[in-house]
Amino acid sequence: MDRNLQKSEVDELKQDIQKLKDELRRKERLLFELQQKPLENCPYNNIFKRDEIVRYSRQMIMSEMGTDGQEALKNSNVLIVGIGGLGCPAALYLASSGVGKLTLVDYDTVELSNIHRQILHSEENIDIPKVDSAYAKLKRLNHNIKIVPLRQLINNTTVERLMKSTKYDVVLDCTDNVATRYLLNDACVLNNIPLVSGSALQMEGQLTVYHYMDGPCYRCLFPVPPPPETVTNCGDGGVLGPIPGVIGTLQALEAIKIIIKSEGILTSRFLIFDGASSTFRNVKLRKRNKDCEVCGDSPTILTLINYEQFCRSSAHDKVVDINIVKPEQQVDVEYFEKCKGTSLVIDVRPELEFKMCSLPSTINYPFTKLTKNVGGFTEFLKNQAKTTENVFFICRRGNDSQRALNYIQNDVIDSNLNVYNVKGGLRDYALKIDSNFPIY
């Protein structure tokens, strides 16, 4: 059978199945909501139904919570932005504790590489919106509360609309990039809402509460955003599942404490969790800065600004593709596939990624190693390329390989080597040549 014809048929079927699944999810949700019996009134308590008393009894009988605290939870409105590694555990605990209305915002769909840490999503949820997957799980966990799944991008317009529609008691920042963190900070300050901010990477996590009582906001601590080249995302740096698990769980805890007006909230303090040594460090921070541009005594930021411009980075954690080598040095994966058998192929990914998966007969020379000793690398190159003059550079997405190529450009100019970049890298190789190669 014609390969292309078969491919279009497969794509069409996949789309049909996706549509049917969406429809199925919608109907299941409808049925589920119709079948829920309203809780029966309890003659023994005016506020809570019988089942609520039983369900929440273990936390309600504590003096820290009591019936007042539980009632405050029941009447509360919580916004969770980002339903990933942090948002999933946070949403689990907030839903189970009886927060009255939980709004979940995320635009992404579930990927296989998410579910080692994003514990609300499972294998059958792949390719469906994260908020839908989360909604389904949380509804089964606690059908007595209102859960609002919103599949939308986080930008000034959507955040302003959210803030206008509801008075949130607390917002959880479970996002993955700097621009969105400033956006949420400013929106929370302008609307006077405490912001529980968590972050996690590799083996470390960080947690604090911004804009609560006389504590600082994100801008008080970091008036200037970090240089974009110093920011690592989970896709590049990696993260161990329990790390955001711990931090997201603690975010839920701080949110509950804010709602029930506990003392001991993590304001003017910063919690650092080092999973590698199983240590927590709790440090004392400055108070609110009276000169802060947004929460100070005479603020200059009175409406949301352009955050991507301010941070010089985009409001997502996806890698933006670059194009920095000469057009004649750019080759596509099809061309690369034809030549690779008779050429030298240098894979510039980190050693651990190369070990995880690599094309046969390619040589690993990490970009970071290369930048430390360019001379050493060009020597290596000339020694390796004895039987060929064609050298292909490849990496995960085709960005570092371009950087590598540019790095050595001047050193190979007088040699007889032809150096090429494989456009789109191993990702394109997996998409267009061999789907058995893992996209990660």
Partner 1 sequence: MKITVEFSGGAELLFNNKKSHDVDLPDKDTNWTIANLLLWIKDNLLQERPELFLQDNSVRPGILVLVNDTDWELLGCLDYKIEPRDKIIFISTLHGG
Write down the least CB distance from residue 285 to partner 1, Å.
5
Residue 205 binding result from partner 1, Zn ion, none, given CB thresholds of 5 to 8 Å by partner type? partner 1
> What are all long-range contacts of 108-114, with beta carbons under 8 Å and residues at least 24 apart?
108/84, 113/440, 114/84
Residue 424 binding result from Zn ion, partner 1, none, given CB thresholds of 5 to 8 Å by partner type? none
Residue 406 binding result from Zn ion, partner 1, none, given CB thresholds of 5 to 8 Å by partner type? none
* Residue 82 tokens, joined: 């980002």
Active site residue 234: yes
d(C-alpha 252, C-alpha 76), whole Å? 13
The reply to whether 292 sits in an annotated binding site is yes
d(C-alpha 44, C-alpha 41), whole Å? 9
Which of 141, 272, 359, 363 touches partner 1 (CB under 8 A)? Answer: 272
Write down the least CB distance from residue 250 to Zn ion, Å.
22
Active site residue 339: no
Write down the least CB distance from residue 239 to partner 1, Å.
6
Stretch that binds partner 1, among 85-93, 155-163, 330-338, 377-385 (CB under 8 A): 85-93
Write down the least CB distance from residue 101 to partner 1, Å.
22
214 binds partner 1 per the rule CB under 8 A = no
Identify the helix (H) or strand (E) that includes residue 347. Answer: strand 344-347
372 binds partner 1 per the rule CB under 8 A = yes
SS (HEC) of 130-165: HHHHHHHHHHHHCCCCEEEEECCCCCHHHHHHHHHH
7 binds partner 1 per the rule CB under 8 A = no
Residue pair 158/111 in contact by the 8 Å Cβ criterion:
no
Among residues 130, 421, 196, 176, which one has the least CA distance to residue 314? Answer: 176
- For residue 71, the number of C-alpha atoms closer than 13 Å in the C-beta half-sphere is 7
SS (HEC) of 296-329: CCCCCCCCCCCHHHHHCCCCCCCCCCCCCCCHHH
How large is the C-alpha radius of gyration of the chain? 26
Chain centre distance of CA 67: 36
Helices 242-259 and 66-74, axial angle in degrees (round to 10) = 110
Write down the least CB distance from residue 304 to Zn ion, Å.
15
Compose the 164-193 pattern: x for residues touching partner 1 by CB under 8 A, - for all others.
Answer: ---------xxxxxx--x------------
Write down the least CB distance from residue 198 to partner 1, Å.
7
d(C-alpha 396, C-alpha 402), whole Å? 11
Compose the 287-326 pattern: x for residues touching Zn ion by CB under 5 A, - for all others.
Answer: -----x--x-------------------------------
Which of 69, 87, 215, 245 touches partner 1 (CB under 8 A)? Answer: 87
Which of 91, 162, 200, 220 touches Zn ion (CB under 5 A)? Answer: 220
Alpha-carbon distances of 69 from 53, 56, 170, 253, 376, rounded to whole Å:
13, 11, 15, 13, 65
437 binds partner 1 per the rule CB under 8 A = no
Catalytic residue among 88, 174, 188, 234: 234
217 binds Zn ion per the rule CB under 5 A = yes
CB-closest chain residue to Zn ion: 292
Q: Give the footprint of partner 1 on this chain (CB under 8 A).
A: 82, 84-87, 173-178, 181, 198-202, 204-206, 221-227, 229-234, 237, 239, 244, 270, 272, 274, 281-286, 317, 372
- Binding-site residue ranges: 85, 106, 130, 176-177, 217, 220, 292, 295
Q: Give the footprint of Zn ion on this chain (CB under 5 A).
A: 217, 219-220, 292, 295
Active site residues: 234, 395
